[in-house]
Amino acid sequence: MDSKASAIAPQKQHHKTAGIQAIEGKDITSSKTGKSELAAPEDLSKYVQNTSKQYTGDASENKKLGISNPKESADSLISKFGTSVSLNVNEQLSGAVDHVVNGNRGLQESSVDHEKKTSEYGSVKGSSVSAKVSDGASSLAKTSGSAKISDRADLVQSGKSSICRGSTSSDVSDESTCSSFSSSVNRPHMANDLRWEAIQAVRAKDGVLGLGHFRLLKRLGCGDIGSVYLSELSGTKCYFAMKVMDKGSLASRKKLLRAQTEREILQSLDHPFLPTLYSHFETEKFSCLVMEFCPGGDLHTLRQKQPGKHFPEQAVKFYVAEVLLALEYLHMLGIVYRDLKPENVLVRDDGHIMLSDFDLSLRCAVSPTLVKSSVVESDPLRKNPVYCVQPACIEPPSCIQPSCVAPTTCFSPRLFSSKSKKDRKPKTETGNQVTPLPELIAEPTDARSMSFVGTHEYLAPEIIKGEGHGSAVDWWTLGIFLYELLFGKTPFKGSGNRATLFNVVGQPLRFPEAPVVSFAARDLIRGLLVKEPLNRLAYKRGATEIKQHPFFEGVNWALVRCATPPEIPKPVEYEKIPSPASSAGEKAGHHMSIPDQKGSGNYLEFDFF
C-alpha cells in the first residue's frame, strides 16, 4: 500500500524550544524558539549554483555564503527545581513549569553544570577511544559481516559498531580524532550502497569532499542547531540529507557542544534504523553532516494522513518494534536518546524507519558487569562459559563506547542464573523463534543526568521532577509514542505546557474508549508509563523485557528489518525538483525561501512525492 508521504516538514507539533538552564546559579543561555535562521538557503543555493559546476576543492569559497544571524530568544529558564528530590512534587513542579517555554509541545533543555563538565570530559576522552576502537572495528567487521538476517546478526552488528567509532570521514574537520577513512566495510548492512562509492570517487578525484560538491535542492526543515537540505552529490544522482550548521551561530548560542554530541553520536552508529553519516566536513563558516535522506517524511506527518489520525495496530507494532531495536542499540552504546517522538522518526524510501536528531542525547559510559548465564550445556557455542554484559553507568560519562571487549561472547542463548525454567516466558511470547533469543543487556539505567530535556508531552516524570534520569526515560517515551500512534494523541496533554507537566507527574494513565485497541497494547503502555522508573517495564533488562511482551507476539525480531512495512513512500522524482543550477534556478531559489523560524507554518509545500 503506497502512501503519499511527503518529506517536506509541515509545521511540527512537537517542535522544540530549547533553553539551557543553569541550576544553582550557573551561567544561563536560553533560546525560546531555538529555531534560528542558521543558513539562508537563497544564499546557499546561489553559492551552490556558482560552485557546483566549477568546484576546485577550495574550501575558502565557502566564505561567500551569507548566513543570517540566529534569532536569539529572550526566554530565560532559570529554575531551582531538580536540585532536591525531597521537595513536594507540586511545589517542585510548580517551580519547574514556571519556567517552561510556552509553545506547542516545546522542548526544554537545561543542563546542570556537571553534565557540561562530563560532556567535555567525554570529548577529550574521545580521541583515545577513537583511535583504539578503529583498530578493533576492522578485525571484528570480518567476523561479523556474514550472518545478516538473524538476531545474532543484529547483535553482531551492534557489538561491532560499539567499537567502531569514526567510520565516516571528516574532510575538513576541527576534530582531529576523526578517522580519515570512509568505507562501507565498517557498515556491513550498507555494503552495497552506491552512495559510499560516489563519495569515495569524489575524494579520490579532488582529495576532499566539500560543500561545493553538492547541489542543494530543497530545504527539508530547520532544527535548533541547523537546517537540513535535500542535496545531490553533483552529477551522481546520489541524494543525501545535509545538515548545515553555522559555526558562528552555534558558538554564540552556546550550542557547539550539542552539535558536537550529535556529530560524534552519528559517527558511531551503524544500524539499519539509525542514520548513516556519509561524511562530515567543515568550511570556514559551516559544519556539514551528510546523511541518508529519508523521503517518507516523519511519523507525525504520516499519522495525520491516517484515517482518524491514528495508525492501525499492526502498523504501530511495526514502527514501535523498529524504534525499540534502535533504542536497544543506542543503549548498548551507552546513548540515552531522550527525544523520541513521532517527528523524529523518519521513514526511509523502503518504508522502514530511521530515528533522527541526536543533539539532545545523553552519552554515558557503560561499564559491563558479567551476568552468568545458566543455559543449556549442550549448546556447542558454550564450550566456554557464556556471559552477558550488564553495564553499570558511571559518572562522569566518559565516552560512547561500552567497554565490552568481546561482544561476541554474548551471542548465545542465555537465561540468567536466577531464573528457573518455570519462570521463563512461554515461547509464544517471543514469536516464531524456536530457540531462546540471545539477550544482551546493556542498559545505561544508572546514568544520571539532571538535564531538563525533552518535549513536554513526552517528558518522563523523573525529568520533570528533576530527580536525575537514565535510560528508563527512553522507555517512558516509548510508551507515550506507542499511545500516540494508537490513539492519535498523547496521554497527558493539558491545556498548556504547565498543565501537561502536572498531568505527567500527577495524573493517572487513562485510555480513550475509541479507537479500540488490544488489551496487550494497553498493557504494554501501562508497563512503560509507570511513573516510578524503578518499577517501569524494561528498567532491569532493557529492551528484552519489552520484546517479550505479548503485544509483540509473533514478531520475529531477527527479521524485522526484512518485514514488509505498512506503507512505502512513492519514489521521489528527483529530476522534477527544480534545479538551482538550471535555467529555472531563480524559480528554484524562490521555492527555497525559508520561514523565519521553525513552526511558523511558512514552509513551502513543495510536494514532489
Ligand X SMILES: Nc1ncnc2c1ncn2[C@@H]1O[C@H](COP(=O)(O)OP(=O)(O)OP(=O)(O)O)[C@@H](O)[C@H]1O
Residues that are catalytic: 339
- Three cell numbers at 229? 537540505
Taking CB under 6 A as the criterion, the residue among 164, 244, 294, 560 binding ligand X is 294
Residue 607 neighbours by CB distance under 10 Å: 9
The region of 288-296, 379-387, 420-428, 546-554 touching ligand X under the rule CB under 6 A is 288-296
DSSP 8-state secondary structure symbol assigned to residue 33: S
Q: Does 241 bind ligand X (CB under 6 A)?
A: yes
Residue 124 CB contacts under 8 Å (≥ 6 apart), including other chains? none
User: Residue 151 or residue 298: which is nearer to ligand X going by CB?
Assistant: 298
Could you tell me the smallest distance in angstroms from the CB atom of residue 221 to ligand X? Answer: 2
SS (H, E, C) 319-369: HHHHHHHHHHHHHHCCEECCCCCHHHEEECCCCCEEECCCCCCEECEEEEE
User: Residue 92 or residue 344: which is nearer to ligand X going by CB?
Assistant: 344
The region of 46-54, 141-149, 218-226, 434-442 touching ligand X under the rule CB under 6 A is 218-226
Residue whose cell numbers read 517501569: 536
Query: CA 147 to CA 155: how far, in whole Å?
Result: 10
Q: Does 9 bind ligand X (CB under 6 A)?
A: yes
* Amino acid in position 306: Q
Q: Does 109 bind ligand X (CB under 6 A)?
A: no
Closest CA to 466 of 10, 24, 16: 24
Q: Does 238 bind ligand X (CB under 6 A)?
A: no
The number of residues in the chain equals 609
Strand spans (E) along 140-211? 169-170
Q: Does 75 bind ligand X (CB under 6 A)?
A: no
Q: Does 346 bind ligand X (CB under 6 A)?
A: yes
3-state secondary structure of 231: strand
Residue whose cell numbers read 543455559: 375
Q: Does 220 bind ligand X (CB under 6 A)?
A: yes
Q: Does 163 bind ligand X (CB under 6 A)?
A: no
Taking CB under 6 A as the criterion, the residue among 3, 16, 164, 450 binding ligand X is 16
Could you tell me the smallest distance in angstroms from the CB atom of residue 12 to ligand X? Answer: 6
User: Residue 105 or residue 243: which is nearer to ligand X going by CB?
Assistant: 243
Could you tell me the smallest distance in angstroms from the CB atom of residue 448 to ligand X? Answer: 22
Q: Does 225 bind ligand X (CB under 6 A)?
A: yes
- Three cell numbers at 258? 550539542
Taking CA atoms, 85 is separated from 362, 395, 426, 503, in Å, by 21, 19, 40, 18
φ/ψ of residue 579, rounded to 5: -85, 130
User: Residue 16 or residue 493: which is nearer to ligand X going by CB?
Assistant: 16
Could you tell me the smallest distance in angstroms from the CB atom of residue 266 to ligand X? Answer: 10
User: Residue 219 or residue 414: which is nearer to ligand X going by CB?
Assistant: 219
484 close to 490: Cβ distance less than 8 angstroms = yes
Closest CA to 456 of 482, 511, 493: 493
User: Residue 359 or residue 545: which is nearer to ligand X going by CB?
Assistant: 359
User: Residue 18 or residue 155: which is nearer to ligand X going by CB?
Assistant: 18
Residue 200 CB contacts under 8 Å (≥ 6 apart), including other chains? 182, 183
The region of 69-77, 210-218, 286-294, 422-430 touching ligand X under the rule CB under 6 A is 286-294
User: Residue 242 or residue 521: which is nearer to ligand X going by CB?
Assistant: 242
Q: Does 37 bind ligand X (CB under 6 A)?
A: no
The region of 166-174, 355-363, 387-395, 582-590 touching ligand X under the rule CB under 6 A is 355-363
Taking CB under 6 A as the criterion, which residues in 372-431 touch ligand X?
none
Taking CB under 6 A as the criterion, which residues in 426-485 touch ligand X?
none
Q: Does 357 bind ligand X (CB under 6 A)?
A: yes
The region of 219-227, 248-256, 420-428, 497-505 touching ligand X under the rule CB under 6 A is 219-227
- Three cell numbers at 390? 550488564
Closest CA to 13 of 599, 609, 508, 475: 599
How many positions of this chain bind ligand X (CB under 6 A)?
24
Q: Does 188 bind ligand X (CB under 6 A)?
A: no
Could you tell me the smallest distance in angstroms from the CB atom of residue 8 to ligand X? Answer: 9
Taking CB under 6 A as the criterion, the residue among 41, 126, 226, 566 binding ligand X is 226
Q: What angle do CA 482, 358, 444 make, to 5 degrees?
A: 75
Query: CA 513 to CA 523: how far, in whole Å?
Result: 15
Q: Does 288 bind ligand X (CB under 6 A)?
A: no
Taking CB under 6 A as the criterion, the residue among 196, 281, 293, 319 binding ligand X is 293
Number of helical (H) and strand (E) elements in the chain, helices listed first:
15, 18
Q: Does 242 bind ligand X (CB under 6 A)?
A: no
User: Residue 175 or residue 298: which is nearer to ligand X going by CB?
Assistant: 298
Closest CA to 320 of 357, 345, 294, 291: 345
161 close to 268: Cβ distance less than 8 angstroms = yes
Q: Does 356 bind ligand X (CB under 6 A)?
A: yes
- Three cell numbers at 168? 565516516
- Three cell numbers at 154? 543484529
Interacting residues with ligand X (CB under 6 A) = 7, 9, 16, 220-226, 228, 241, 243, 275, 291-294, 298, 344, 346, 356-357, 359
